Amino acid sequence: MKLVILDRDGVINEDRPRGVKSPEDWVPLPGALDAIARLNGAGYRVAVATNQSGIERGLLDMAMLNAIHTKMLRAVQQAGGRIDVIHYCPHSAAAGCRCRKPSPGMLQDIGQRLGVPLASVPSIGDSLRDMQASLAAGARAMLVRTGRGRETERAAELPRGIPVFDDLMQAVETILAPHTP
């Protein structure tokens, strides 16, 4: 089974300064929904791994998070694609949980749930913690410049060798490009 793991805010949709706290705040990035549909059309399953500390901090509740994800799933479906799995961490950084990125727990859980070793799985994000979680899980970290990606690209802590793309569509095109011997 072919799998790609995506961060949500800043990769699929706009990353709002105060967070995405309602369906109205969830606005897809240009080309992102079509990129997911292209992955599906090429036989990839798509999973989302997203930190959602706003739940623990009381900025939104589970009903609101579910409403945001319902809007996202419908929008992806209207573009001809699907998201197979959504994993989220409701904890703040202070909680020290194994699921909050930069820890690899969410990605590992996705791999286990789908029965896919993460060694060659592309994991696309826009933040340093996305890259750290991907590498810690053994996935193939890929950075997009959308969301916080441009500032992440300039960060001294960014591990060397991580490929950087303008947006999700460019990353997907690279994933789907035929490999030459």
Neighbours of 164 (CB within 10 A): 15
**Which residues, other chains included, contact 107 with Cβ-Cβ below 8 Å and sequence gap of 6+?**
5, 49, 118, 123, 133, 134, 137, 139
Tens-place pLDDT, residues 79-101: 999 999 999 999 998 898 999 99
Stated pTM of the model: 0.96
Q: Would you state the pLDDT for residue 102?
A: 97
Structure token digits, residue 136: 């810690």
Grade residue 179 by pLDDT with cuts at 50, 70 and 90: low
* Average pLDDT of the residues in 137-159: 96
- Report which residue type is found at 75: A
The answer to whether residue 178 scores a pLDDT higher than 80 is no
The answer to whether residue 151 scores a pLDDT higher than 70 is yes
d(CA 31, CA 117): 28
The answer to whether 2 touches 44, Cβ cutoff 8 Å, is yes
The answer to whether residue 143 scores a pLDDT higher than 70 is yes
Q: Would you state the pLDDT for residue 162?
A: 97
Which residues are catalytic, by number?
7, 9
* Average pLDDT of the residues in 119-137: 97
Instruction: For the chain, list the domains and their CATH numbers.
Output: 2-176 (3.40.50.1000)
Strands 122-125 and 140-144, by their bridges, are parallel
Q: Would you state the pLDDT for residue 156?
A: 87
Task: Look up tokens 């569509």; give the residue.
Answer: 169
